[in-house]
Amino acid sequence: MDATQPGGPGIDWRECAFDLTRGIAAYIGNPLVGRLARVIAEHPDANISTAFNHKQVACKMWARDRLLDHCGARLGRVWIVGGWYGVLAAMLFDDARFDIAAIDSIDIDAGVAPVARTLNAPAGNRFTAMTADMYGLDYAGARPDLVINTSCEHIADLPGWLALIPKGTRVLLQSNDYFSEPTHINCVASAAAFEEMAGLTEVRFSGALPLKNYMRFMLIGTV
Ligand SMILES: C[S@@+](CC[C@H](N)C(=O)[O-])C[C@H]1O[C@@H](n2cnc3c(N)ncnc32)[C@H](O)[C@@H]1O
């Protein structure tokens, strides 16, 4: 095969994606994009193309911007539950507007922590990936400054989970109205319905982001 024309049935798309992602990282000088290339190389089974698709990235950029507006730059110790491959953690560390003491990314799926560590390696010991059920964490003992859950559509009992977090703790929550996806067990129809379900003591931000097939909803406030 002509090396200048890759293609055909034998082509390994991951090698192409790795080369392309490394090239984009070099061109734009962005370490996070370089780490995506490492994830493609080291975790060939990770579904990173879904976790970093344009809709997922848009939701997380929205989260970063509104977080800065409503909670300021100093985030302290952040817990991200249902943190998946650690994309949001990496995007927060990548954003020079923030001053972040540490981020712990916690997910019930043991398969995602190694990927999250690869993606967040530049953060060193400021980043931890843990395997745990978000319902089983000791929020009162650990007292994180901010708890983020962008996987609210994936958990059955949002009020029951929020009740585990000490009163006054800042939270950022995202859900959606993508009812047709089978893994979404607890969607909401509107931002107002999300507010009602969460029952936060204080709501600093409540909004909706239109995406191609669904609406993303976000709340920032305190439990
Ligand atoms: C598909 S992903 C994330 C989707 C979301 N849009 C996002 O980017 O944040 C949902 C994650 O929640 C995790 N998850 C579901 N239930 C959980 C629980 N009880 N404790 C911790 N993680 C959980 C899953 O393992 C999965 O990695």
Domain CATH for 148:
3.40.50.150
Please determine, for residue 9, whether its predicted confidence score (pLDDT) is greater than 80.
no
Q: In terms of domains, do 27 and 82 share one?
A: no
Please determine, for residue 53, whether its predicted confidence score (pLDDT) is greater than 60.
yes
Mutate to test the pocket of ligand 1, among 48, 107, 130 (most ligand atoms within 8 A of CB): 107
Do the domain assignments include residue 3? no
Q: Would you place residue 41 in the very low, low, confident or very high pLDDT band (cuts 50, 70, 90)?
A: very high
Q: How many residues does the chain have?
A: 223
Please determine, for residue 1, whether its predicted confidence score (pLDDT) is greater than 50.
no
Q: In terms of domains, do 37 and 59 share one?
A: no
Domain that holds residue 118: 54-222
C-alpha to C-alpha distance for 59 and 211, rounded to whole angstroms = 9
> Which residue has the least CA distance to atom 13 on ligand 1?
82
Q: In terms of domains, do 36 and 65 share one?
A: no
Do the domain assignments include residue 147? yes
Q: What is the pLDDT of residues 63-80, one digit of tens each?
A: 999 999 999 999 999 999
Q: In terms of domains, do 132 and 182 share one?
A: yes
What's the CA-to-centroid distance between 82 and ligand 1, angstroms? 4
Q: In terms of domains, do 116 and 173 share one?
A: yes
Q: What percent of the chain has pLDDT over 90?
A: 92
> Which residue has the least CA distance to atom 9 on ligand 1?
150
What's the CA-to-centroid distance between 111 and ligand 1, angstroms? 12
Do the domain assignments include residue 201? yes
Average pLDDT for 137-166: 97
Q: Would you place residue 4 in the very low, low, confident or very high pLDDT band (cuts 50, 70, 90)?
A: low
Domain count, the chain: 2
